[in-house]
Structure 1
């Protein structure tokens, strides 16, 4: 194999014109070994007679419990009035069923959080796993931006166009001053 050097001593001044084939041969040998090993594995397979199934999937309606709570704390189990004392026993009975029902809690906006926390604690303690809340979407303001409604964070002020004022106190329609 010929190696070229940059010094002019004892060598020819012409550039080396041979291609170094050693790295190409190494790569080819590695690929050849890989294909020799994997080719028999790809062709070898086991024939298995799998059973054929011709049934429909079972479609089961989920059982839903609608637990409603009004402003005064009145509880309604699927539109039937219930007492808080009877609720734990009802949760335990429903938690034993298979499949478990979904408990959907629908509470008034003015309901105390403490009462909802007690209900959630009872439901979880009795083994119910599928809990959810039913809410109504909020009303949108004239500009379509729910954040532009009066809130304590904005000081109670609203913009007629739905755009919020910048945080630096500048009017919403002002343009920034050009930089010098």
Structure 2
């Protein structure tokens, strides 16, 4: 808030210093940071492009590095961004369970394209269960479209 002229004895029109903080530079910096984070956030999500179904369930808390298993629209299986053959899935998952120190095996996030038939996803879930993984999460988008 700027002060008006202070009329002192003998001095005319002297102004007091401004006592306001100029927040415009801070707002500019925050807007630039916001834009940077909005652009880079989608790049941080790794994995195969999959169109997952929507869900109203709340996201799970994460502690540690889970296994990411993805199935695209063609039915191809990706284990942590590496394409594998369906016959290799059980062996590779059993190796991960043996290397894990967690009870019930490591956490596994299954992302399957909505266009896949139920049978192919069910076969993969059977392999996950047979490998000894008990912490399975099915990834879906929220009502707002976010994962």
For normalisation by structure 1, the TM-score amounts to: 0.42
Partner of 2:65: 63
Partners of 1:77 and 1:103 in 2: CA distance = 10
Who is 1:98 aligned against? 101
1:128 aligns with 2:130: no
For structure 2, which runs of at least 5 residues remain unmatched after alignment?
1-62
- Which one has a larger percent strand, Structure 1 or Structure 2? 2
Post-superposition offset of 1:112: 1.1
- CA offsets, 1:46-83, max 9 Å, x none? xxxxxxxxxxxxxxx52311111111101111111111
- Give secondary structure in 2 for the equivalent of 1:89: helix
Is 1:77 equivalent to 2:98 in the alignment? no
**Partner Cα separation in structure 2 for residue 128 and residue 139 of structure 1:** 30
Structure 1: give runs of 5+ residues left out of the alignment.
Answer: 1-60, 141-180
Q: Flag as ranges the 4+ runs of structure 1 deviating above 3 A.
A: none
Contact kept? 1:94, 1:128, Cα under 8 Å: no
Q: Structure with the greater relative contact order (CA < 8 A, sep ≥ 6): 1 or 2?
A: 2
CA distance in 2, matches of 1:87, 1:125: 11
Cα RMSD for the two superposed structures: 2.0
Deviation at 1:138, TM superposition (A): 3.8
> How many residues are treated as equivalent by the alignment?
81
